[in-house]
Amino acid sequence: MRATFHLKTLTVAVAALSVASMANAAGLDRSGQDVTAFLQDGTYAEAVYTYIDADVTGKDTSGNKIGDIAESYDFFRYGVKADVNDTFSVGILYDEPFGAAADYTGTNNFVGAPTDAVNNIIASSLTGTGVTDIQGLKALVEGTQTQLSAAENRLDAARAQVGQAQAAVSQNPALESVLRPQIEAGLAGIAAGETQLAAGQAQLNQLERLEGFADERLANDESTNVEVRTESLTGILGAKFGTNKEFQVYGGPVVQRVKADIKLRGSAYGAATGYTAHLSPDQDYGYLAGISYSKPEIALKAALTYRSEIDHSMNIDENYPVVAALGGDATQGGTIDITTPESVNFDFQTGINPTTLATAKVRWVPWSDFSIVPPLYNEVSKRATLDDKGLSLVSYDDDQWVVELGLAKRLTPALAVSGNVGWDSGAGNPVTSLGPIEGYYSAGLGAKYNVTENWAISAGGKYLWFGDAEGQIPTKTIVSDFESNDGYVVGVKVSYQAQ
């Protein structure tokens, strides 16, 4: 006779897995958008805290060491679910699905005075002059100022001579026929000189703007930094059907809030060095839809969940110092459209024996469709691409796949332990220098203790082996190399369940 593994007796084991099960490295993925709180039986509530600390180091193309760029960060996840009756269920989930936190430090091409980048900008701006660095630019500015001062003095002398001739004619009209040709020639020379002086002054203004840009950049000691945070609130309504209510369809609205700050510094970013963008918080809406199946006698649960992409139109303030050097407005405000990606999650569990569960999670996110295209940055980039498309500030080449397999074992009526292994495909390599990781392999452990019949506390951790990656800037130029990096995730959960 086939053994039955009643689901109620195994929930103590499976819940330990979800504390730190998903902590994704591809793209901007963070929480894994877990919905398993809604799939629990009866009345259920949980509060989860997750802390992530990664060590991501490498070298720039000049061979300089890049210290740990991955800032530690944490986030919360909450879930509440209740059965209205034996058919309908309702729930609310909160998480922080997407994010980034990177900060470059040390002495490398992503920090401080971008000497190489500034010199390259000077050389490309002054082609044909022989000037290739800041010292040459300063000498050219000084020489141009001296030439214009001498030209102004010559004009003053010419004006004085013409004035004297005009005064002489005014006093003695008989000199008109003699002095008029000299006066006309002098006036023509003065007009030509003024035109040349105006052109020279315009050239000097351009040189001084370039010098001001260079001085400002070379005095800068800031580092490249990016921070992206999102928050998501999902309302879910589920309806069970089938002979034994084994099937359930569920769905509901999603409210998502996004904000971001980006700073590009150092020589690695070329003409974009000094670029700063602030994306003001924006809230918009999407939806979730899914279907699940359960077979309690063998503790089987399977769920397929789809989350829609969400379109955001955000206010953005940009500062692009090189634009000022070219005579434009370096600080501009506008709007930017960003679409956070859709995703598909598959969650599965089944009993192996009355005290053991096997679990599997699969997640897909099409990061190849995602991009951040700030308007000023994109407009300036068209000068490099020589087309009307320009460049994205952030984009990815590949879609993300995550697979995680686990086992959970109930040791006593109150205590369970779990273990899992995982793989994240990453979103391509080379990848943006603002997040130079190509996926990871992982291994994790967890435990759960039932404090009372209804209340429990869980704790878990996971170690991550990050894939090696080359960092690139939007022009596809490789600017860094990151190898042999790792990190860890820890989490704590407090849960309540009544059936």
Residue 461 CB partners (closer than 8 Å, separation 6+): 20, 444, 445, 446, 488, 489, 490, 491
- Identify the pLDDT of residue 20: 53
* pLDDT value of residue 128: 87
> Which among 259, 380, 407 is positioned nearest to 321, based on CA atoms?
380
Same domain? 304 vs 392: yes
Which of 159, 183, 215 marks a domain boundary? 215
Strands 431-432 and 469-472: parallel
Identity of the residue numbered 44:
Y
**Statement to judge: residues 208 and 97 lie in one domain:** no
Q: What whole-number distance in Å separates Cα of residue 99 and Cα of residue 382? A: 28
pLDDT at 397: 92
Q: Is residue 398, in this structure, part of any structural domain at all? A: yes
What pLDDT does 25 receive?
65
In this prediction, residue 10 carries a pLDDT of 53
145-178: string of b/e by CB count within 10 Å (b at 16+)?
A: eeebeebeeebeebeeebeebeeebeeeeeeeee
The rounded Cα 352 to chain-centroid distance in angstroms is 42
Query: Cis omega before residue 430 (within 30°)?
Result: yes
Q: Decide if 194 is inside a domain.
A: yes
- Helices of type H across 126-175: 134-171
pLDDT for 19 equals 56
C-alpha pair distances (Å), 126 with each of 122, 267, 371: 6, 19, 34
Residues 39 and 86 in one domain: yes
Residues 374 and 462 in one domain: yes
The DSSP output letter for 341 is P
Do 402 and 464 lie in one domain? The reply is: yes
Q: What is the block-wise mean pLDDT of the chain (499 residues), using blocks of 10 residues?
A: 49 49 70 92 93 92 93 90 96 94 91 89 88 92 92 91 89 85 89 91 90 87 92 97 95 97 93 94 98 92 97 96 87 95 95 91 95 94 86 93 93 90 92 89 92 92 93 92 93 91
Examine residue 405 and state whether it is found in any structural domain, yes or no: yes
CA distances from 297 to 248, 347, 352, 355, 476 (A): 17, 18, 11, 13, 54
pLDDT the model gives residue 2: 46
97 plus 36 within the same structural domain = yes
Alpha-carbon distance of 392 to 390, in angstroms, equals 7
287 and 249 in a common domain: yes
488 token code pair: 């860890």
Residue 1 is assigned to a structural domain of this protein: no
pTM for this predicted structure: 0.87
Is residue 335 located within the same domain as residue 413? yes
CB 131 within 8 A of CB 140: yes
Query: Looking at the 3D structure of the chain, how many domains does it have?
Result: 2
CA separation for the pair 184, 162 (Å, rounded): 9
Q: Are residues 384 and 304 in the same domain?
A: yes
Does 276 lie in the same domain as 358? yes
Whole-number pLDDT of residue 110: 94
Looking up residue 344, the CATH number of its domain turns out to be 2.40.160.60
Angle at 98 between CA 95 and CA 99, to 5 degrees: 115
Phi, psi dihedrals of residue 433, rounded to the nearest 5°? -65, -10
d(CA 38, CA 293): 13
Structural domain range at position 193: 134-215
How many Å is the Cα radius of gyration of the chain?
33
Does the residue 119 lie in any domain?
A: no
Residues 108 and 253 in one domain: yes
| Residue finishing a domain among 215, 249, 266 | 215
* Position 272 in a domain: yes
Closest to 268 in 3D by CA, of 377, 116, 391: 116
Query: In the block, which residue shows the tokens 């944490």?
Result: 74
Burial class, 51, CB count within 10 angstroms (exposed 0-12 / middle 13-18 / buried 19+): middle
Question: 409 and 450 in one domain?
Answer: yes
Name the domain boundary from 156, 185, 215.
215
